[in-house]
């Protein structure tokens, strides 16, 4: 149940980011919201690089792999939608594949990230928080760029009471209907 819960949360954040990115044009993926800021494409590359590094050989190797080029993830370059989507899929696919191999008893095992020992549970909490913060950035940037064409990804304004009146809505929103 613990590992399954994490898998579901990663899927939820993956879907949220995917839905946000789908609402902007290809050129908007590379838009810098302010000087020295990060575009959606750069954030995606960073999230993907982090997930690939952390989850490759999760139980047997340090989560910060020597071949990871973290600084390169922030390179100022234009990326195609196909490149952005491929990076997004790569990161989240490896998470799902590696978590599928674990059981709840693995949550207490020890892993390391940059030489710091953590339980698998602690590492997953840290990782999901990191991914969620960056998905929030993606949603905010996409929301600003989509402007009036934006379709809400959560409960629309003024519709909380109606949403809350039917408990099935929460199950549908979490994909558990």
pLDDT at 166: 79
CATH of the domain at 52: 1.20.120.450
- pLDDT tens, position by position, 142-169: 999 999 999 999 888 898 888 888 777 7
Query: Which structural domain, as residue segments, surrounds residue 142?
Result: 2-173
Predicted model pTM: 0.92
Distance CA 130, CA 40 (A): 15
- pLDDT tens, position by position, 44-88: 999 999 999 999 999 999 999 999 999 999 998 899 999 999 999
Q: Span 81-99, mean pLDDT?
A: 98
Distance CA 10, CA 128 (A): 7
Distance CA 32, CA 10 (A): 26
pLDDT at 177: 54
Distances (CA, A) of 174 to 8, 56, 70, 151, 159: 9, 27, 32, 18, 18
Q: Is the predicted pLDDT of residue 96 greater than 90, yes or no?
A: yes
Task: Provide CB contacts within 8 A for 146, sequence distance 6+.
Answer: 23, 24, 28
Q: Which residues of 126-162 are buried (b: 16+ CB within 10 A; e: fewer)?
A: ebbeebbebbebbbebbeebbeeeeeeeeeeeeeeee
pLDDT at 156: 86
End-to-end CA distance of the chain: 18
Helix (H) or strand (E) segment spanning residue 135: helix 120-146
- Strand-pairing partners, residue 119, are 110
Count of domains observed in the chain:
1
């Amino acid at each position: 149940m613990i590992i399954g819960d994490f898998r579901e949360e990663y899927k939820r954040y993956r879907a949220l980011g995917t839905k946000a990115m789908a609402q902007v044009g290809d050129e908007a993926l590379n838009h810098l919201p302010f000087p020295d800021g990060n575009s959606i494409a750069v954030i995606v590359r960073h999230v993907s690089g982090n997930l690939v590094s952390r989850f490759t050989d999760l139980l047997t190797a340090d989560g910060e792999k020597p071949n990871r080029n973290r600084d390169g993830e922030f390179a100022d370059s234009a990326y195609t939608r196909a490149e952005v989507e491929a990076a997004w899929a790569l990161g989240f696919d490896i998470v799902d594949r590696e978590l599928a191999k674990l059981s709840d008893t693995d949550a207490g095992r020890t892993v390391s990230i940059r030489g710091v020992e953590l339980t698998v549970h602690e590492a997953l909490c840290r990782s999901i928080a990191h991914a969620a913060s960056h998905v929030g950035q993606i949603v905010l940037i996409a929301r600003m760029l989509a402007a009036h064409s934006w379709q809400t990804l959560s409960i629309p304004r003024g519709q909380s009471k109606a949403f809350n009146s039917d408990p099935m809505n929460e199950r549908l929103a979490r994909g558990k209907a």
